[in-house]
Amino acid sequence: MSSTFDQVIVAGDVEALEESELSLLETLDHVLNRGLVIAGEITISVADVDLIFVGLNVLVSSVETANEVLRSREARALSSTASGDSSKISSEE
């Protein structure tokens, strides 16, 4: 079941985006279900001397989505480690 957000944003139809009435709730629901990462850097300098550096990393997601991503990454890491260990054992024999 696709939402209005998916139909407009994922399809990439600019005209449909301008004509659609996406609610804030639909947009927030989509962001929490899929997650959103914002990363940026700002450096303030005078006469080529860096005075202030600000780094920004923001993750917006639901706790459930974040836990699913972490569990899948851990499972992939464990499976790649296990397959790497078995290849070492077979190559030593």
**Ranges of each domain in the chain:** 62-93
Residue 19: pLDDT over 70: no
Q: Region 72-83: what's the mean pLDDT?
A: 87
Provide the pairing of β-strand 36-46 with 49-60.
antiparallel
pLDDT of residue 14: 62
Residue 1: pLDDT over 50: no
Task: Give the distance from CA 30 to its chain's centroid.
Answer: 12
- Tell me what percent of the chain is helix, strand and coil, each rounded to the nearest 5: 60, 25, 15
CA 42 to CA 19: how far, in whole Å? 35
pTM (2 decimals)? 0.46
CA 61 to CA 31: how far, in whole Å? 7
Q: Region 5-11: what's the mean pLDDT?
A: 60
pLDDT of residue 51: 92
Structure tokens at 9: 């944003």
Burial tier of 2 (Cβ tally within 10 Å: 0-12, 13-18, 19+): exposed
Q: Region 71-77: what's the mean pLDDT?
A: 91
